[in-house]
């Protein structure tokens, strides 16, 4: 229940934040989200900046250059836009990791089942992938050039595809052995 | 090509959720109706494979690195429907596990990359066969077509969402800016995706045959 | 040669190493024992500088590794002198043939006659017959040997080996133990296999389930120290019934002992 309520609350906040256009309201919302982090504020700020800064800067600078004849209007447009981005991305970083997706979307058994399987596989693949990157790092004295990187990328991609096929077969056998397909012919 | 939250207007993400929602429902129903017990596990691992492929990064001349999109490879390996569902799941899990990706951008990404990219990649392969050219173009179109769609959607924002004084409420640039700014870099990224698809297939293909 | 100072590492909220101090002297053969998930692999990756510590530092030849790796020349030297064998050999293999795989390191370091060096080391670990095969078509044991040869071909000074016998059959395991003993390199070998410990090295570090080093010393002394072994989850006790009597009793037990 908690997860579904959290998710619905988050979605309502997102929709509201895209329907309201007053920069004071958007700014107040962003400040609220930031303050709600409490002691985690520096971490949240860091992640927020890392997620938004490059694209927000590129868009903002581009817009200032394009609208240099009327900087006041450009400033108002950018204030509204950037505060909205901050609010929405902050909200996502703050709320979504706390939501248990499997429980929030638990209205369908097969969807929940799919999410559990996919999440565990994604986490496992993420850890395995880190090893591939580390191994290349450990074996190279300097940044590798494009030919090596491509060869490494292709071998990595192929390995994960094969691993995926293998895991799918193993998972199906395990589910079968546990009686999951008994109701099917 | 990650669109953050706050750039897409409700006039666009609303209908995008509608369209993507219908397709998700159809895809999941197809999955259930196929009496193949491996269907759900296959989709789960296809999702993980797509996730891993997206983490592959390649250096560009000039010292930056770029992540490949992996869309073409996923589509070629798993088919359009599976690829669409798997890529949608990746965006969903990224949004929830890492808090990145953005829920307002999610349906746009799912439609652009998961559907548009997969269709383009599989189309290229059908037309040209599983030779080197076909695989390369599958990888290339799998990156470039989504970029065109994303550029189109971004450029649409100032047209559909404007304040009373005519200033844009969301993403502020029109097509004249978004098409070259988004598409041109992806013409190059697509080359990386294409070469990767060809090389990876060369490793996988000998084992595909009995 | 390599040392750590209060080395800590955590993945998010999960602590993987909680303050490790160790010193390896040149030429030592050291075994790193611990149960699965205690942080052995993490420690090796930290020593090889492929992941960064959360706090504390690794010192190689007197310099902090993470600071040194930013210096191009130092990084080149460090990568040449320190080799890390990954637990999953697939993570290391990406070249088209076994020969290319082994020659990759020498080519990266710009050494002359990389091909000859590779052929030589392939022969020493018994891979002559598969030089032209693609590494991903080999058996798990052969893959492990390709990885090992890829490291040895650079003639590093320090070898960090993560479960090097995990995919080897008993005969190859025996061969590898002898082979490693004859190497001049400083060795740190991680394993959860107690019976291999005494064969692989004279000194033994035990990582406990609290992610700290709970034993540093002689291997043979460790085998009598049931308290440490139980704390590290390297032995277990269970009810035991002997054929010659009715008596049931408990004692420490490992199924891979000798």
Q: pLDDT (tens digit, 9 = 90+) per residue, C128-147?
A: 999 999 998 899 999 999 99
Q: Chain C residue with minimal CA distance to A130?
A: C91
CATH number at residue C123: 3.40.50.300
Q: Chain A residue with minimal CA distance to C72?
A: A142
> Contact A141/C109, CB-based, under 8 Å?
yes
> Contact B58/A153, CB-based, under 8 Å?
yes
Q: Which residues contact residue B59 at a Cβ distance below 8 angstroms, ignoring those fewer than 6 apart?
A: A143, A144, A145, A146, A149, B65, B66
Please state the φ and ψ torsions of residue C5, each to the nearest 5 degrees. Answer: -125, 115
Provide the terminal-to-terminal Cα distance of chain B, rounded to the nearest Å.
39
Structural domain of residue C210, as residue ranges? 2-237
Q: pLDDT (tens digit, 9 = 90+) per residue, B11-49?
A: 999 999 999 999 999 988 887 776 677 788 888 888 998
Chain B: give the shortest CA distance to residue A135, in Å: 14
**Once rounded to an integer, what is the mean pLDDT over residues C72-97?**
93
Confidence of residue B61 (pLDDT cuts 50, 70, 90): low
The total number of structural domains in chain C stands at: 1
What residues 78-107 of chain A have any CB closer than 8 A to a CB of chain B?
Answer: 78, 80-81, 84-89, 91-94, 96-97, 99, 101
Q: DSSP assignment of A56-89, as one string?
A: HHHHHHHHHHHTGGGHHHHHHHHHHHHHHHHHHH
Domain ranges of chain B: 10-202
Chain C: give the shortest CA distance to residue A15, in Å: 31
Q: Chain A residue with minimal CA distance to C11?
A: A127
> Contact A14/B103, CB-based, under 8 Å?
yes
Domain ranges of chain A: 2-101, 108-177
Q: Chain A residue with minimal CA distance to C45?
A: A134
> Contact A118/B202, CB-based, under 8 Å?
no
Chain A: give the shortest CA distance to residue B127, in Å: 24
Q: pLDDT (tens digit, 9 = 90+) per residue, C148-160?
A: 999 999 999 999 9
Q: Give the CA diameter of chain A.
A: 71
Least confident of A108-112, B47-51, C76-80: A108-112
- CATH code of the region B10-202: 1.10.1760.20
Q: pLDDT (tens digit, 9 = 90+) per residue, C162-179?
A: 999 888 888 889 899 999
Q: What ipTM does this complex have?
A: 0.87
Confidence of residue A175 (pLDDT cuts 50, 70, 90): confident
Contacts 24+ apart (CB under 8 A), A9-15: A9/A95, A10/A91, A10/A92, A10/A95, A10/A96, A10/A99, A10/B103, A11/B103, A13/A91, A14/A88, A14/A91, A14/B5, A14/B103, A14/B104, A15/B10
Distance CA B209, CA C59 (A): 50
What residues 4-63 of chain A have any CB closer than 8 A to a CB of chain B?
Answer: 10-11, 14-15, 17-19, 21, 47, 51-52, 55-56, 59, 62-63
Residue A136, chain C, CB below 8 Å: the answer is yes
Structure tokens at A77: 């447009």
Q: Chain B residue with minimal CA distance to A118?
A: B44
Structure tokens at B32: 């259930």
């Amino acid at each position: 229940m908690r997860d579904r309520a959290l998710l619905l609350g988050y979605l309502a906040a997102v929709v509201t934040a895209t329907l309201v256009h007053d920069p004071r309201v958007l700014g107040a919302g962003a400040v609220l989200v930031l303050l709600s982090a409490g002691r985690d504020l520096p971490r949240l700020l860091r992640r927020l900046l890392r997620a938004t800064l490059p694209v927000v800067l590129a868009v903002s600078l581009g817009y200032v250059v394009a609208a240099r004849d009327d900087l006041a209007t450009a400033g108002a447009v950018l204030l509204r836009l950037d505060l909205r981005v901050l609010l929405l991305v902050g909200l996502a970083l703050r709320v979504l990791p706390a939501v248990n997706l499997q429980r929030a979307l638990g209205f369908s058994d097969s969807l929940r089942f799919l999410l559990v399987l996919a999440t565990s596989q994604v986490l496992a693949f993420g850890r395995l992938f880190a090893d591939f990157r580390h191994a290349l790092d450990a074996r190279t004295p300097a940044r590798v050039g494009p030919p090596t990187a491509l060869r490494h990328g292709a071998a990595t991609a192929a390995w994960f595809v094969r691993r995926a096929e293998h895991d799918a077969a193993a998972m199906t056998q395990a589910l079968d052995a546990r009686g999951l397909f008994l109701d099917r012919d | 090509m990650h669109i953050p939250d706050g750039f897409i207007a409700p006039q666009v993400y609303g209908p995008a959720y509608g369209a993507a929602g219908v397709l998700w429902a159809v895809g999941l129903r197809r999955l259930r109706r196929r009496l193949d017990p491996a269907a759900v596990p296959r989709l789960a691992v296809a999702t993980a494979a797509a996730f891993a492929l997206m983490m592959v990064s390649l250096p560009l001349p000039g010292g930056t690195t770029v992540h490949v999109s992996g869309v073409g490879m996923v589509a070629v390996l798993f088919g359009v429907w599976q690829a669409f569902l798997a890529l949608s799941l990746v965006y969903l899990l990224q949004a929830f596990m890492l808090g990145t990706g953005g829920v307002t951008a999610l349906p746009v990404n799912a439609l652009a990359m998961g559907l548009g990219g997969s269709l383009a990649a599989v189309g290229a392969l059908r037309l040209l066969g599983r030779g080197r050219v076909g695989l390369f173009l599958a990888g290339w179109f799998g990156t470039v077509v989504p970029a065109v769609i994303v550029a189109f959607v971004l450029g649409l924002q100032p047209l559909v969402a404007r304040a009373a004084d005519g200033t844009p409420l969301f993403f502020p640039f029109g097509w004249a800016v978004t098409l070259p700014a988004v598409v041109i870099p992806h013409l190059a990224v697509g080359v990386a995706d294409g070469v990767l698809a060809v090389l990876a297939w060369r490793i996988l293909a000998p084992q595909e045959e009995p | 040669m390599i040392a750590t100072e209060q080395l800590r590492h955590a993945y998010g909220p999960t602590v993987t190493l909680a303050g490790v101090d160790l010193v390896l002297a040149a030429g030592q053969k050291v075994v790193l024992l611990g149960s699965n998930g205690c942080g052995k692999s993490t420690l090796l990756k930290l020593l090889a500088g492929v992941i960064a510590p959360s706090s504390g530092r690794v010192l190689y030849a007197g310099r902090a590794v993470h600071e040194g790796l930013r210096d191009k020349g130092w990084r080149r030297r460090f990568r040449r002198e320190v080799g890390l064998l990954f637990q999953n050999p697939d993570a290391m293999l990406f070249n088209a043939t076994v020969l290319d795989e082994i020659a990759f390191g020498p080519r990266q370091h710009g050494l002359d006659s990389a091909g000859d060096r590779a052929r030589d080391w392939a022969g020493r670990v018994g891979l002559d017959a598969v030089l032209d095969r693609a590494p991903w078509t080999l058996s798990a044991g052969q893959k492990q040997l390709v990885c090992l040869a890829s490291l040895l071909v650079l003639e590093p000074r320090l070898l960090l080996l993560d479960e090097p016998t995990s995919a080897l059959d008993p005969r190859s395991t025996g061969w590898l133990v002898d082979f490693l003993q004859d190497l001049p390199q400083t060795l740190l070998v991680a394993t959860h296999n107690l019976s291999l410990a005494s064969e692989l090295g004279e000194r033994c570090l035990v990582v406990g389930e609290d992610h700290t080093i709970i034993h540093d010393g002689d291997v043979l002394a460790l085998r009598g120290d049931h308290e440490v072994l139980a704390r590290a989850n390297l032995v277990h006790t269970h009810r035991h019934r002997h054929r010659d009597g009715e008596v049931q009793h408990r004692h420490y037990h490992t199924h891979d002992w000798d």
